[in-house]
Amino acid sequence: MAAVHPGDWLLTVGERGNPATVLDGRRPDGSAWSTGNLVRPLVHGAEYFPELLAAAGRQRAGDLLLFTDWRGDPDERLAGPGTEIGDVLAAAARRGVIVKGLVWRSHLDRLQFSERENRHLGEEIERAGGECLLDMRVRPGGAHHQKLVVLRHPGRIGLDTAFVGGIDLCHNRGDDARHHGDPNAQPIAAAYGPHPPWHDVQLAVHGPAVGDLETCFRERWNDPAPLSRSPLTRLRSLLHHEDESAGRLPQQLPDPPVCGPHTVQVLRTYPNRLLRGYPFAPDGERSIARSYQKALQRARTLVHLEDQYLWSPRVVECFARALADNPRLRLVAVIPSVPDQDGRLTLPMNLVGRIGALQELRRAGGDRVAVYGVENHAGTPVYVHAKVCVVDDVWASVGSDNINLRSWTHDSELNCAVLDDTPDRRPPTDPGGLGDGARRFARELRLRLAREHLDVGDDPAATAELCDPLAAFEAFARSAADLDAWHDSGRRGPRPPGRLRSYRPPVLSRSATALARPLNRLLVDPDGRPRRLRHHNTY
C-alpha cells in the first residue's frame, strides 16, 4: 500500500493564506506540518480531565504551563473533590511552575456568558503567582474560542504534552460515555435537564506538534494591542485591579523529539480584526475553512461529522459540492437535538441557519445525507459539543471549530488535522479508492465514536462490520430507526440498543423565519471575512 502524501490532504505553506504567522517557518524543510507525533483522542471530559490533572501534577519549578480557554470555572473538578481546576493551576504556580493563561473576557453575566467565572479563575491564578489575562482582543461580538493546554519541561522533554480540542475547563464538561452529566452543571436548554449530558472530544499531543501549539499561544500572548478597547471594560479592569499587560515568557524550548507515526497540521481561525489587525494575522486567518475545503475534494465514500452547530448554508457549500460531485459519497452528521438556547427569540435565530444548511446538504446528497441526535439510556438528549470530522478513514480533524461562519471566519479557533503513517489493514483497505489507504488514527477515531453511539462496546464482529464506511452508514440508519420506532410506540417493550435518534428539522413559520434570519446573521453566525472574500464566499 502506498504511503499517504500529506500535501494531498493538508495545506501547503502558501495555502494557509497567512504569510504573517511564524507557524509555517519553524521547520528547516519548510513544511507546513510536523511529522513524528503521537496523538491520542480523549473522548469526554471524564477521560481528558484526569490526564490533565496528572500532567499538571508532574510539573515542577521552572516548567511551563500555558492555556487558552473560552470559559473557565475555578470549581470545575478534574477528578473528584480537591481537584478543582483553579486549585490545580494555583498549586502549580505556587510550586514555581510558570503558569500563563488567556481566557476570553466574555460578555456580562446577565447575557448568560462567563465574564464573572473567567475573572475569578484569573484572580485565583494571579494570587498564587501565575498570570491569567482576560482577553477581549476580538472582533465586535466575537469570542476567543480556543481550548488549549501546553505543558513544557526543561530537561525532561519526554513529558512535553499539549491538549487541544473542544473541551473547556468549565462546568458541564466532566461527563463520560454513560452521559449522566457533570455534577457541576451549568443550565442550558430545558430539554437537557439539570445536569446536561455532554459529548465532547480532546486530543493529547506528544512530539514536535507541541512546539507548533505553543507557538500559537505565544503569538496571542505577545499581541501588543490592549486587552480591550472598551472604556467601560477598561474602567472595570482598573477597579478590579486586573492584570492588563502580558509578562515576558521564557525563551521557547526546542520542539519535543519525534515519538510516533502521526503527521499533524495546526490550523486556526482569526477574524479580520477591525481598526488594528493581529500582528500574526493582519488580514485574519481562515486555515480551518481552507483545510476542510481541501480534504473534502478527496472525499469519496464517507464523511463522519460530529458538530455542535452545523448551521450555516454558506459554510456547508463545500460539503454539498463534494456530495454532488461524488455519487458514492455519504455524510453522517451527529448534532445536538436541540440548540443550547431555547428562548422564544434565541431558538428560532439558532434554528434558521441549521434548517438552511440541512436543506443545502440534502439538495446535493438526498438520502446519502443522514443527520442524528443522541440520547442517553434514560431518553435525555445528549448535548453534542464535539467538533470532529473524519474523511474516508484517512484525514481527521479535531478542535474548537464548529461548522458555521462564526467558527470559520469570526472567532478565534484552533484545530489539529491528523494523518497517520500507519495503514489499517482491515477491509476495506482503501475506502476512498485514491490509493491513500485506510489509516489507523482516523479509522479508530470513527470506530470509537460509532461504537458508543450504537452501544456495541468492543464486540469484534460489530467492529469489523463498522470498518466498512458504507456498512457503518447503514448501521446508523437501522439503529436510529429502531429507537425512533420504540419511542413512537410509547416505549413499549425493551429499549433497543443504541443512542441515535433521527434528526427531524423543526418547521418555522414565515414570520419567525423573516425575523430570525437577520438576527442569525448579526448575532448567531456573523461573518468575519474581509468584504472581498464575503462577496465570492471564499476563505
Q: Is residue 539 part of a domain?
A: no
Q: Is residue 403 part of a domain?
A: yes
- Nearest Cα to Cα of residue 417 among 81, 15, 137: 15
Q: What is the pLDDT of residue 197?
A: 98
The proportion of the chain whose per-residue pLDDT surpasses 90, expressed as a percent, equals 89
* Residue located via cell numbers 482582543: 137
Distance CA 444, CA 428 (A): 14
Report the predicted TM-score, pTM, of the whole model to 2 decimal places.
0.95
Q: Is residue 475 part of a domain?
A: yes
Give pLDDT tens digits for 375-414. Answer: 999 999 999 999 999 999 999 999 999 999 999 999 999 9
- Which triple of cell numbers denotes residue 219? 503569538
Q: Is residue 406 part of a domain?
A: yes
Give pLDDT tens digits for 423-459. Answer: 999 999 999 999 999 999 999 999 999 999 999 999 9
Q: Average pLDDT of 254-272?
A: 97
Length of the chain counted residue by residue: 539
Domains in the chain: how many in total?
A: 1
User: What's the burial of 515, exposed, middle or buried (CB within 10 Å: 0-12/13-18/19+)?
Assistant: middle
Give the list of residues 6+ apart from residue 286 with CB closer than 8 angstroms, or none.
17, 269, 408, 409, 529, 539
Q: Is residue 488 part of a domain?
A: yes
Distance CA 476, CA 468 (A): 12
Q: Average pLDDT of 86-111?
A: 85
Q: What is the pLDDT of residue 231?
A: 60
Q: Average pLDDT of 512-523?
A: 93
Distance CA 356, CA 374 (A): 21
- Residue type present at position 71: R
Range of the domain at 404: 1-22+32-534
Q: Is residue 170 part of a domain?
A: yes
277: pLDDT strictly greater than 50: yes
Residue 415, φ and ψ in degrees, nearest 5: -130, 160
Contact (CB, 8 A) for 326 and 318: no
Q: Average pLDDT of 81-107?
A: 93
Q: Is residue 27 part of a domain?
A: no
20: pLDDT strictly greater than 60: yes
* Residue located via cell numbers 460530529: 306
Going by pLDDT thresholds of 50, 70 and 90, the confidence category of residue 275 is confident
- Residue type present at position 173: R
Give me the chain's average pLDDT, please. Answer: 94
461: pLDDT strictly greater than 70: yes
Residue 102: strand pairing partners: 68, 133
Residue 68: strand pairing partners: 102, 148
Give pLDDT tens digits for 22-45. Answer: 999 999 899 999 999 999 999 999
Q: Is residue 445 part of a domain?
A: yes
